[in-house]
Amino acid sequence: MSALLLGMELGLDGEGRVFAIFLSVVWALSGAFAYFYLEADPGRSRFAAFWILSLTGNLGIAFARDAASFYLFFALMTFSAYGLVAHDRTPAAFRAAKLYLVLAIAGEMALVSGLMLAVELAGSIRIAEIAAAIASGPERDLILLLFFAGFGVKAGLMPLHGWLPIAHPAAPIPASAVLSGCMIKAGLLGWLRFIPLGRAELAEWGFWVTLMGVTGALVAAGFGIAQQRTKEALAYSSVSQMGWMLIAFGVGLGAPGAEPLPRVAIWGLAAHHAVAKAILFLGIGIAARVPRRQWRIVWGLLVLAALSLSGAPGTGGAIAKGALKRAMKSGHAPDWLVETLFIATVATTALMARFLFLVHRERQASPKLGAERSLGLWFTWGAMLAVLSFGEFALDLLVGGYRQSWDAGWPVLVGAVLAFFLWRGSWKASPPGVSPVVPPGDVLLPIAGAVQIGLGGLNRAIERERKGPVKKAGALLRAKFSAAGARLEALEGNLADWSVAGGLFVTIGVILGWLLWHGRLP
């Protein structure tokens, strides 16, 4: 493979294997769901083409061993996902897809810049060597900043997450599932691959990263609760859950002795979230299509999946979050940090409750459905639920047999109670279709507006520059030239006169003669 690109090297290590497994499972089952879900869609084959390309990119990232191949698959995934987001071809879908691509490309530019600096530092494009060289290099902080920002756009790092709540809901349901479940993890994998965990030099970074994770987890959950539509709420939930993984990452950065626990905790959180989030998204799709009798079953199963995501005792979520707690303890994280997990779980539970409420409301509001064939949808969705349930055991094996205690239940209970009061108080009464207090995209919207204005001003300035002073200067010069030309013409006319010419000839002849006479030197 060394003749390809800049020396392509593909292979699977342990981490790659974990990601490859859960990514492929979620992609495959979501793809099967999409097959049935989009039966009536005329653009199916288009969707399938973009789907396969994105899938290749997403999986390829797990296999890449050198930076160029990594970026190749990353870019493939990013650009193909445009087709998924824009699938519906409505103006709103195009707007969402454009926003997604603009931010994704900006992130990739930061990412590539970081890669170039890091590759130069390491003297090689092999990822293992790059990660090793970064920690002790002189431009470490710049490189880390670029990596965090570059991968962070993809991974929903606040404040670079603004595109997520706009793009994920704009895509068709199966695409939203893989966008939130799988493609978001590509950013995470980038962090895991390129940023070395457990190095003493990066301890300071660890603190800030953990702080950002906590902020993301809490703030995104808050924004999500304020949403009025199901898919937006789930999108914010994804941002929030990525905050959890960032907390684990920060712990790993800041505590050299804790390795490999934080990394393993991240794997657990990522794998679990991928499956659970996909189930929730696909559940929205099923909820809109099943007849009345089956609706309650759907809602019940969604409740179970939501509980799993929140980390109720007995679920995979609890295992994953337990692993995180253990990693934090082993990394000597301060107590207040461990307590924030409590609040974060409360927030997640409340957000899940909000989601369930919204699903219920949307079902009630939509016209009577039910004649659609939904066997295929049930089959695939059921398979994914099975994966979630049985996957618990696999998760247990992976993160190392964390014995669950019922402590995990307290924050979930608190969250549920909180949600109940919210429901009684404001949710029940507010009408659907209202704009949410926090519009999807939150911080991004004013920034995008400012950029538009800035670019427009720049354009006008350039146009003025081109048309104004330069043209005037050009006209002035031309006028001067023609005036000079006219004068030259007149002068030449004079010279053509015999008397003038003859006189000049004689004068020149005399001067030349004198020079020759006196110029003769010995």
Partner 1 sequence: MNWGFSVPLLVLASSLLPGLLIFRLQERQHRLRTWLNMLGATLKLFLVAWVIRGVYEGRSFEARFPLSLGLELSLRADDVSLLFMGLSATLWFFTTIYAIGYLEGSSHRNRFFGFFSLCVTSTMGVAMAGNLITFLIFYEMLTVVTYPLVVHRGTVAALRAGRVYLVYTLGGGAGLLLGILWIHALAGPVDFTHRGVLSGLGPEHHGQLIGAFALLIGSLGVKAALVPLHGWLPVAMIAPAPVSALLHAVAVVKAGAYGILRVVYDIYGIEFAAGLGLLNPLAAVACVTIVYGSLRALYQTDLKRRLAFSTVSQISYIVLGTAILGPIATTGGLVHLVHQGLMKITLFFCAGNLAETLGIHKVSDLSGVGRRMPVTMAAFTVAALGMIGVPPVSGFVSKWYLGVGAAQSHEPWVLLVLATSSLLNAAYFLPIIRAAWFGESTAVWPRREAASWETSGAMLLPTVATACLALAAGVLASAEFSPLSVAERIVQRMYRP
Could you tell me how many residues of this chain bind partner 1 (CB under 8 A)?
Answer: 34
Phi-psi region of 520 (alpha: psi -120 to 50; beta: other; left: phi over 0): beta
Confirm or reject binding of residue 38 to partner 1 (CB under 8 A).
no
Alpha carbon distance 132, 383 (integer Å):
40
**Could you tell me the CA-to-CA distances from 147 to 107, 153, 208, 253 in Å, in that order?**
9, 10, 15, 14
What's the token pair of residue 352?
A: 């899940």
Confirm or reject binding of residue 296 to partner 1 (CB under 8 A).
no
Confirm or reject binding of residue 234 to partner 1 (CB under 8 A).
no
What's the token pair of residue 185?
A: 């993890």
DSSP SS3 for 130 = helix
Instruction: Please count the other Cβ atoms lying within 10 Å of the Cβ belonging to residue 469.
Output: 10
**Could you tell me the CA-to-CA distances from 215 to 244, 319, 337, 497 in Å, in that order?**
10, 23, 12, 93
Q: Given candidates 462, 484, 486, 488, which one binds partner 1 under the rule CB under 8 A?
A: 462
Task: Choose the binding region for partner 1 from 28-36, 70-78, 385-393, 415-423 (rule: CB under 8 A).
Answer: 70-78
Which residue, 130 or 178, is less far from partner 1 as judged by CB?
Answer: 130
Residues 171, 84 contacting (CB under 8 angstroms): yes
Q: What is the DSSP string of 147-212?
A: HHHHHHHHHT-TTS-TTHHHHHHHS-HHHHHHIIIIIHHHHHHHHHHHSPSS-GGGHHHHHHHHHH
Minimum separation from the CB atom of position 166 to partner 1 (A): 17
Confirm or reject binding of residue 3 to partner 1 (CB under 8 A).
yes
Which residue, 112 or 303, is less far from partner 1 as judged by CB?
Answer: 112
Minimum separation from the CB atom of position 13 to partner 1 (A): 22
Q: Given candidates 32, 55, 59, 110, which one binds partner 1 under the rule CB under 8 A?
A: 110
Task: Choose the binding region for partner 1 from 214-222, 323-331, 442-450, 459-467 (rule: CB under 8 A).
Answer: 459-467
Q: Given candidates 11, 13, 52, 89, which one binds partner 1 under the rule CB under 8 A?
A: 89
Q: Given candidates 23, 26, 34, 117, which one binds partner 1 under the rule CB under 8 A?
A: 117
Residues 109, 200 contacting (CB under 8 angstroms): no
Task: Choose the binding region for partner 1 from 208-216, 342-350, 375-383, 455-463 (rule: CB under 8 A).
Answer: 455-463
Confirm or reject binding of residue 458 to partner 1 (CB under 8 A).
yes
Which residue, 17 or 89, is less far from partner 1 as judged by CB?
Answer: 89
Q: Which residue has the tokens 């692993």?
A: 323
Which residue, 8 or 48, is less far from partner 1 as judged by CB?
Answer: 8
Q: Which residues of 374-384 are buried (b: 16+ CB within 10 A; e: fewer)?
A: beebbebbeeb
Q: Which of residues 132-151 bind partner 1 (CB under 8 A)?
A: 139, 142
Site string for partner 1, 197-226 (x = CB under 8 A): ------------------------------
Alpha carbon distance 217, 409 (integer Å):
19
Confirm or reject binding of residue 407 to partner 1 (CB under 8 A).
no
* Beta bridge partners of residue 64, listed in sequence order: 10
Residues 348, 224 contacting (CB under 8 angstroms): no
Confirm or reject binding of residue 53 to partner 1 (CB under 8 A).
no
Alpha carbon distance 324, 481 (integer Å):
80
Q: Which residues of 18-51 are buried (b: 16+ CB within 10 A; e: fewer)?
A: bbbebbebbbebbbbbbebbbeeeeeeeebeebb
Q: Is the peptide bond before 432 cis (omega within 30 degrees of 0)?
A: no
Minimum separation from the CB atom of position 90 to partner 1 (A): 11
Confirm or reject binding of residue 422 to partner 1 (CB under 8 A).
no
Which residue, 90 or 405, is less far from partner 1 as judged by CB?
Answer: 90
Task: Choose the binding region for partner 1 from 67-75, 199-207, 324-332, 477-485 (rule: CB under 8 A).
Answer: 67-75
Task: Choose the binding region for partner 1 from 12-20, 111-119, 157-165, 310-318 (rule: CB under 8 A).
Answer: 111-119
Amino acid at 146: L
Alpha carbon distance 390, 42 (integer Å):
36
Minimum separation from the CB atom of position 246 to partner 1 (A): 24
Minimum separation from the CB atom of position 79 to partner 1 (A): 7
Which residue, 450 or 462, is less far from partner 1 as judged by CB?
Answer: 462
Q: Given candidates 10, 48, 53, 109, which one binds partner 1 under the rule CB under 8 A?
A: 109
Alpha carbon distance 274, 180 (integer Å):
7
Which residue, 142 or 422, is less far from partner 1 as judged by CB?
Answer: 142
Q: Which of 270, 82, 224 is nearest to 167 (CA)?
A: 82
Residues near 223 by beta carbon (within 8 Å), at least 6 away in sequence: 165, 236, 438, 442
Q: Given candidates 90, 405, 452, 459, which one binds partner 1 under the rule CB under 8 A?
A: 459
Minimum separation from the CB atom of position 19 to partner 1 (A): 21
What's the token pair of residue 272?
A: 């679990």
Task: Choose the binding region for partner 1 from 11-19, 93-101, 248-256, 395-403 (rule: CB under 8 A).
Answer: 93-101
Q: Given candidates 13, 14, 49, 120, which one binds partner 1 under the rule CB under 8 A?
A: 120
- Cite the beta strand spans of 188-346 per DSSP E: none
Q: Given candidates 23, 96, 119, 350, which one binds partner 1 under the rule CB under 8 A?
A: 119
Residues contributing to the site for partner 1 (CB under 8 A): 2-8, 68, 71-72, 75, 79, 86, 89, 94, 98, 101, 105-106, 109-110, 112-113, 116-117, 119-121, 139, 142, 458-459, 462-463
